[in-house]
Amino acid sequence: MLLIIVSPKLKIKIMKHFSLIYFLILFISCSSPEKNPNAKIEIYDDSVLEIIDIYSEIEELADSISLPEGPVWDKASNSLLFVDVMGNKLYKWNEEEGTREYISPSGNTGYAPNIDLGLLGANGLYIDENGDIIICQHGDRRLAKIENASTTSPSFTTIVDNYEGGRFNSPNDLTYASNGDIYFTDPAFGFFNLETFQFVESELKDLNFNGVFRYNVNTEELSLVTDQIDLPNGIALSPDEKTLYVNKMAFIDGSRKILKINLESMEMTTLFDGAELPQEDEGNFDGMKVHSSGNIFTSGPGGLLVISPEGKKLGKIDFGPITNCVFDNNEEYLYATGFVNNPKVFRIKLKN
């Protein structure tokens, strides 16, 4: 055994040294402010804590946009693309450049007749495997494609603009399947009067229903998925692409729901009924996205709701009234676009 003899003076120095370290650690731990959970995040089921960081703060990325909508993440440029439906413009945001106009006009170019009441710009966006932007156009009443580049004189290519010879109402939102199927909703918001907050009857309206459609870009086949949702809006696929989720808005019959369609049997059922939510919660079931976990992130009454594939309410992020949301390529951030009385673009960091 090795015996080390320490002199009294050295022992005193060592004790002073460790005492100083101890008090320094104690001072730092006592003086550091305790981080509090974000009061705008509500957790109803702990399983969602694997995705949501309750300490994350909401960031505002853009404001003064009349009606921001249709967010999509462009991984090639590490940017967020979104539209102003009322302003008929498509915007681009990234860390380096901030927010700037990208494509204008975006959804109303004179291609199709419309009643010119304001909700005529582009809405839902998707970036295909070639990097081109697929756009739901309210005013032009079609699904169109355009090169992913900034322009004030855009040249759109029509993908599809009618069902059995009747022009679409105003394609609103879309989701893309791995086999080339595009699922999209066609509510009549191109025939909506924002002043009266009512839909307008017009001889320009060809279809007597608001449909959900499927279009295959490889075969160019269009089919009707359902005409039984009075006002379909946001749309998304489950990760296994066997289930189609569609948001039903409340402007016609007063009921707001998340519906699900089994794409094998085509059976449609209610996943989540908005009647379960407090009636005073402002907002509607508008745009949605599905996380890789299978959970649905959707605009809804009270902000953004997280709903499980079984229809259980897991959490809420109070951005205020929002229209839509999207994840970046790695699901590091969640982006959200605000409604007309909350015309901003937000993001919040997630766990990933």
Whose tokens are 């998304």? That residue is 236
Greater pLDDT, 318 or 251? 318
pLDDT of residue 343: 95
DSSP 58: P
Please say if the pLDDT value at position 95 is more than 60. yes
Q: Which residue shows structure tokens 């509607």?
A: 284
Stretch 133-142: mean pLDDT: 98
pLDDT, tens digit, 9 for 90 and up, residues 205-234: 999 999 999 999 999 999 999 999 999 999
Helix, coil or strand: residue 342: coil
Rounded to an integer, the average pLDDT of 55-82 is 97
Distance CA 275, CA 196 (A): 25
Q: Answer positive or negative: Cα dihedral of 49, 54, 56, 59.
A: positive
The CATH number of 37-349, from 3.40.50.1000, 2.40.160.20, 3.30.10.20, 2.120.10.30, is: 2.120.10.30
Count Cβ atoms below 10 Å from residue 55 Cβ, excluding itself.
11
In this structure, are residues 225 and 212 in contact, taking their beta carbons and an 8 Å threshold? yes
Q: What is the SS3 assignment for 186?
A: strand
By the 8 A CB rule, do 158 and 169 touch?
no
What are the residue ranges spanned by the domains of the chain?
A: 37-349
Query: Mean pLDDT across the stretch 84-104?
Result: 97
Which residue in this structure is represented by tokens 């993001």? Answer: 347
H helices within the chain, ranges in order? 8-31
Q: Which amino acid is at 129?
A: E
pLDDT at 31 over 50: no
Average confidence score pLDDT of the chain:
92
Average pLDDT value for residue range 130-137: 98
Amino acid at 73: W
SS3 state of residue 167: strand
Output the DSSP codes for 170-228: ---EEEE-TTSEEEEEE--GGGEETTTTEE---TT---SS-EEEEEETTTTEEEEEES-
Query: Do the beta carbons of residue 225 and residue 181 sit within 8 Å?
Result: no
Residue 245 pLDDT greater than 70, yes or no: yes
Specify the 3-state DSSP secondary structure of 273: strand
Distance CA 254, CA 279 (A): 11
The 3-state DSSP class for residue 294 equals coil
Contact by Cβ (8 Å): 213, 221: no
- The Cα-based distances of 242 to 229, 239, 264 in angstroms read 19, 8, 7
Residue 323 belongs to what H/E stretch? strand 322-327
Q: For residue 272, give both structure tokens.
A: 């989540």
Rounded to a whole number, what is the largest CA-CA distance in the chain? 103
The mean per-residue pLDDT over the stretch 88-96 comes to 97
pLDDT number for residue 278: 87
Output the CA angle 273-325-313, nearest 5 degrees.
30
DSSP state of 169: S
User: Strands of 322-327's sheet, edge to edge?
Assistant: 59-62, 345-349, 333-338, 322-327
Work out whether the CA dihedral 328, 334, 339, 341 comes out positive or negative.
negative
pLDDT at residue 238, rounded to an integer? 98
Percentage of the chain surpassing pLDDT 90?
A: 84
